[in-house]
Structure 1
Amino acid sequence: MVRVITQETYDDVVKENIEEFDMTPEEAVKEAIAQFQAQGVDLSNIIKDLALGSGEEHAVTTIVNKLRNLCSATEYDNEAVLQELDALKTECKKDIAHRVRAGKEGAYTILIDLLEARQKIYLQNASEADGRFIVSVLNTLTSLMNMQPDLLEAKGIDLIISLLDNTDSSEVLISTLKWTYHCCTKHEMNRQGLFGKNISKNLKTLLQYRKDVKVAVAAMRVIRKFTVDDDVRVQFGKAHEHAKVLATTSLLPLVILLKENSDVNEDDKQNDKDNAIPEGDKTQDKQNDEENTIPEGDKEEAIAEALKTISSLLVRYELCSLVADNGISLLLFTILLKYKREDIAQHACTLIAALAGNDDVKRKLMQAFIAPLIISILNKYIHNPKTVSQALKCISTLTLREASHAKQFFSCDAAEAIISSMKMHPDDATVQKNACWAIRNMVARYRDENSKFHELGAEELLNDAYKKFSDDFGFDIKSALRDLECDVKLEEQWKGKGKEIEK
């Protein structure tokens, strides 16, 4: 059982070391930490540096009290409040102990009341100054609630929805979404509370926000938070239910966003040619294009986030078909061919593997000549185990129960790439597991090329993997060896006792 103490107890021990044992502050802190750790006390939520502000108060306490006093006045000095908000944000960014202290001092309530009051003013007259003030409050809330989402309550949820409903400022929207992201991290009740307020509708709208692609990127990060069950305090989460609803509302906007930022919408290009503007009318049009041009870095970030988000929402067979029917095969081919960022390649492989769970979509992907691009990625980023494992997973899912697909991969030198991956990452369990799946699926229904794997030393590599990972996925390794027609001893998973079943 973990033992805990209060901040006051810790402070008293440090002060005692200074006053009674004539230690310097540094020695007193070091001695107090050693003393409590020897007793098995958890100090993760304790401010250990004894950073006292005025009098006997910690700096966090002093700042929160100043903020409370300033905001309690009927009219307060905006600059003074902003200064204290920045100071509080700085303290909260230090570590979780400072954030816990600020939460216990009532910082959350002060910030929520301040945000609510300023939002009412902002809705009546959306001035830039009020917008910047709201962003400052939101950023402070985000810092405060990083890793302590328990502070959120009904009023905070209502404020999030109200801001998303009534705000058109990209800065305010992004700050609100960042706050929402931290509220949803490892907290199932917050996610369910926000979902109960129909936040899925807001997220769909923000994916179609055209003023700033960074808003869509922030919205995608929040969407993915609703698709995970990461709260250990809850036995059964609703990630699957959330993903189904979000897929219904958001998949098509995500595909459209992916097309727009990938610059691969051929229909639009053809329309541009057909509706060519006369040379004399192009000046104003060129000026408008320059004003609305999205920086290449933002486009690539949007592509990477869209690939990840679409993958997280493909929780049903028919959803894969829905995405495929909107030209995802050609789109993925073009993205893999055009963009050189490794994270984009990695996330594209993740999406391909997710889509290939649908047999019809799997065939469409192979018809789009995805296979050679996957092998190219595998060879290009062979030093990165994460990218390698995703590429290997693509091979295994695309060749599952498909002899013609296996033949196509063999023609792209997939066997050599798989074996090279196993040699490059002999101690990485995920790489070895995905590699043995890829080998098994490539030869299970297409034995013509078994000799290729034997020539490359697959049997020895699989046996080496079995020695290291037999407890984790030994059955999968033996299955690959069996389908390679190697000598392998398969163990019976269950043996009867030799007794007759009672009638």
Structure 2
Amino acid sequence: MVARQRITQESFDEAVQENITEFDMTPEEAVKSAVEEFEMQGADLTGIIKSADGGNIDSHPATLAVQRLTAAVGAACDAGSAEQTQSETDACQQLLQVLRSSDKETRAEAVTVAVKAGAVRALLSSHAVTQEAASAGRTCLALSVLPVLLISDGAQDDFAAAGGVETLAGLLDRWTGANLRPGSGDVIGAAAAAIEAAAAKHENSKCAFVDAGVHTRLIGAAVASRPPGGGEGVGGQHPPPPSALAAICNALRSFATADDLRPSTSRAFQNGRTIANAGALDAMYGILQRENDSDAAAWHPELVAAVCGAMRRIAVNDDTCTEFADLGGLAATMQAVRKGMGSAAVARSGFGLLRQLANSDAIKNTIVDQDGLELINTAVGAHIACAGPLEQALGLLASLMLRNPAVAERAVAAGCIDTALDAMRAAEAAGNRGFADSAVGAQWACMALRNMVARNPELRPAVLEKGAEPFLRRAKVAHPATCDDVGAAALRDLGFDDYLA
């Protein structure tokens, strides 16, 4: 998909003024005409202030809310009386209400205005974020505004320039380790969510967080959640709740994800190794183990999905994959996937982690030995119309069979031909109604069938007898962008000379 062109506020303002001066439109007509013109051009107007005043944001509700917050922050940090800290809290709540407008377009505009008005810096310097005496509730409120703001262009740069990394590192120090107290878990979760938002698609912030040791603080908080011998938690009576643990996992995942396209290189691989060496494997395994041991009422699928998503990014090399598997992480992941089969998020993240671990040939065989092929069959049947689980489950199947004839034989015996063809059948049934999901299922089914016979020509008759050829040819036509090459490769390895047709 081609990205929509982003325009600047200045360009929009110029178009509005031109409509007013050149075409004698009223301000309202000029704004409406400018919006229609840019939308016809396919421009992205997210965050653009659509008014005749344009870049003049002095009277905007978001600006007024930020001004009130800035004044309250100054007063609270100078004196810190109960009345002044309450004023800061009230101002923060008002800003959050402005930013959470029910209308999507108004909300995006408010976020843009708030960032321009200095909201990020005001929050980072607030009494609630910087002072030891701040209550957990006040701190969580201030932190909860940051992820809302950090989706806006320029907000992450404001965060970095205002010393956001150091500020949040200091905040974690005041609420973790020996400083655990009532509300610590909620504060840690809110801080982790803000950290993830600041690091997303921002390479410099990712590296700054890791260099500042923020990952070690987060890992320590995750380890503190594990009750030793059934106790309350390591180092105190206030371990992070499941939602906070999920936020910790998401932040760690962000540090090890190369999602910023601006720099020529990324430190994601190095960050992943650093995080793994800091104790993340034991922390993630401990969370999985506890979730697996819990009953259905106390099980948290969103946390399991977050753990698997983080581990997928942290397990960046063979040594890390092997260490996690030897620790018990492989078995725990497979158990979690079985337990959470009804959750698309758990299936997607769990199979994504298994797929990453399967980059080690030794682990591939272990997955198969632990009924991994049957697990794949079950997942495809359970999520036949969902792109995420389909991609990861069928991708794992293709990976297990890659250059592994013995596993290919076992896959055929386990019924994986039918599983791949079921995915292609579902893709055809969905047609244009679910093109993206259909294309994903068909693509990875093609790849699985190809790997099944690439080094096992004796398996060709079994695959063809199931009717694979027409499915492959139709997938090439229906989804040329994703299935033309892989479908042709499958037909070629099935013995067809006209595989390009």
Q: TM-score, length-normalised on structure 1?
A: 0.79
**Structure 1 position 16, deviation (Å):** 7.0
User: Distance in 2 between the 1:114 and 1:159 partners?
Assistant: 10
Q: Aligned to 1:108, which of 88, 111, 120?
A: 120
Decide whether aligned partners of structure 1 residues 15 and 344 sit closer, same or farther in structure 2, where only a CA change above 3 A counts.
Answer: same
Deviations 1:312-332 (A, max 9, x none): 222211222112212234334
Shift of 1:106: 2.3
CA deviation map 1:281-337 (0-9, x unaligned): xxxxxxxxxxxx99625x322222112211122221122211221223433443333
CA distance in 1, matches of 2:71, 2:286: 49
1:87 alignment partner, one of 90, 94, 111: 94
CA gap 1:49/1:256 in 2 versus in 1, 3 angstroms: same
Is the deviation greater in 363-372 or in 442-451? 442-451
Mapped contact 2:324–2:330 kept (Cα < 8 A): no
Structure 2 runs not aligned, ≥5 long: 102-106, 226-238, 429-434
Deviation larger for 312-321 or 446-455: 446-455
Deviations 1:110-163 (A, max 9, x none): 2222247x63342xxx6xxx2222222212233222333121125221111011
- Structure 2 residue 346 is matched with structure 1 residue 348: no
CA RMSD in angstroms, aligned pairs only:
3.4
2:270 paired with 1:241:
yes
Contact 2:309/2:353 (CA < 8 Å) preserved in 1? yes
Go from structure 1 to structure 2 and tell me whether the alpha carbon gap of 1:36 and 1:373 turns closer, same or farther (over 3 Å shift): closer
Query: Which one of the candidate residues 456, 463, 472 is aligned to 1:453?
Result: 463
Residues 76-129 of structure 1: per-residue CA shift (max 9 Å, x gap): 53333322212212223343332222222222222222247x63342xxx6xxx
For the residue of structure 1 that corresponds to 2:288, the secondary structure is helix
In structure 1, the residue corresponding to 2:125 is in which secondary structure? helix
Partner of residue 394, structure 2 = 392
Q: How many residues align?
A: 449
How far apart in 2 are the matches of 1:77 and 1:235?
Answer: 47
Q: Is the 8 A contact 2:439 2:479 kept in 1?
A: yes
SS at match of 2:59: coil
Cα deviation code 1:331-374 (max 9, x no counterpart): 34433333332322232221222111111111111111221121
Question: Please, which of 91, 104, 108 is the counterpart of residue 96 of structure 1?
Answer: 108
1:404-427 Cα distance to aligned partner (Å, 9 max, x none): 222222222111111121121145
Whole-angstrom distance in 1 between the partners of 2:487 and 2:172: 50
By how many angstroms is 1:429 displaced?
Answer: 3.4
Aligned with residue 196 of structure 1, among 196, 211, 219: 211
Query: Which residue, 337, 351, 363 being the options, matches 2:365?
Result: 363
Match of 1:279 in 2: none
1:223 to 246, 252, 255: 252
The equivalent of 2:74 in structure 1 is: 72
Contact 2:16 2:31 in 1 (8 A): no
Alignment of 1:267-306 (within 5 A): 296-297=298-299, 299-306=300-307
Q: Is the 8 A contact 1:142 1:178 kept in 2?
A: yes
Of stretches 2-11 and 441-450 in structure 1, the one that deviates more from structure 2 is 2-11
Q: Deviations over 1:386-408 (max 9, x none)?
A: 22222211211112222222222
Structure-2 residue corresponding to 1:48: 50
Local SS of the residue matching 2:163: helix
The answer to whether the aligner puts 1:261 opposite 2:266 as a matched pair is no
DSSP 3-state at the match of 1:236: coil
**TM-score in terms of structure 2 length:** 0.80
CA gap of 1:146–1:376, structure 2 versus 1, over 3 A, is same
Partner of 2:346: helix, strand, or coil?
Answer: helix
Aligned to 1:120: 131
Q: Is the 8 A contact 1:2 1:40 kept in 2?
A: no
Identity %: 22
- For residues 32 and 341 of structure 1, the distance between their equivalents in structure 2, rounded to whole angstroms, comes to 44
Contact 2:203 2:260 in 1 (8 A): yes
Please state how far the C-alpha of 1:37 moved relative to its aligned partner. 6.5
Equivalent residue number for residue 326 of structure 2: 325
| 1:146–1:295 Cα change, 3 Å | farther
Name the counterpart of 1:270: none
8 Å contact from structure 2 (residues 447, 490) kept in 1: yes
Pick closer, same or farther for the CA change 1:352–1:47 going to 2, 3 Å. same
Matched, 1:142 2:152: no
Q: In structure 1, what is the equivalent of residue 8 of structure 2?
A: 4
Deviation at 1:490, TM superposition (A): 7.3
In 2: Cα distance, 1:81 partner to 1:51 partner? 29
Structure 1 unaligned runs (5+)? 265-292, 492-503
Change in CA separation of 1:423 and 1:40 when aligned onto 2, cut-off 3 Å: closer
Q: 1:16 to 1:87 in 2, by over 3 A?
A: farther
The structural deviation recorded for 1:34 is 4.2
Q: Give the residue type in structure 1 aligned to 2:144.
A: N
Distance in 2 between residues matched to 1:103 and 1:379, nearest whole Å: 46
1:62 Cα deviation from its structure 2 partner? 1.8
Distance 1:469 1:8 in 2: 38
| Alignment partners' CA distance in 2, 1:88 and 1:483 | 61
1: CA distance, partners of 2:318 / 2:206? 25
Residue-by-residue CA offset, 1:35-71 (whole Å, 9 max, x unaligned):
776899874333226899xx97111222222223333
The letter of the residue matching 1:390 is Q
State the secondary structure of the residue aligned to 1:77.
helix
CA distance in 2 between partners of 1:240 and 1:365 (Å): 25
Q: CA deviation at 1:2?
A: 6.7
Match of 2:236 in 1: none
Please name the residue that 1:159 is paired with.
167
Q: 1:43 to 1:366 in 2, by over 3 A?
A: closer
Where in structure 2 are the equivalents of 1:26-65 lying within 5 Å?
Answer: 29-31=31-33, 33-34=35-36, 43-48=45-50, 57-65=59-67
Distance 1:15 1:86 in 2: 38
1:477–1:46 Cα change, 3 Å:
closer
- Secondary structure, aligned partner of 1:325: helix
Q: Contact between 1:14 and 1:32, CA under 8 Å: does it hold in 2?
A: no
Matches within 5 A, 1:463-474: 463-468=473-478, 474=484
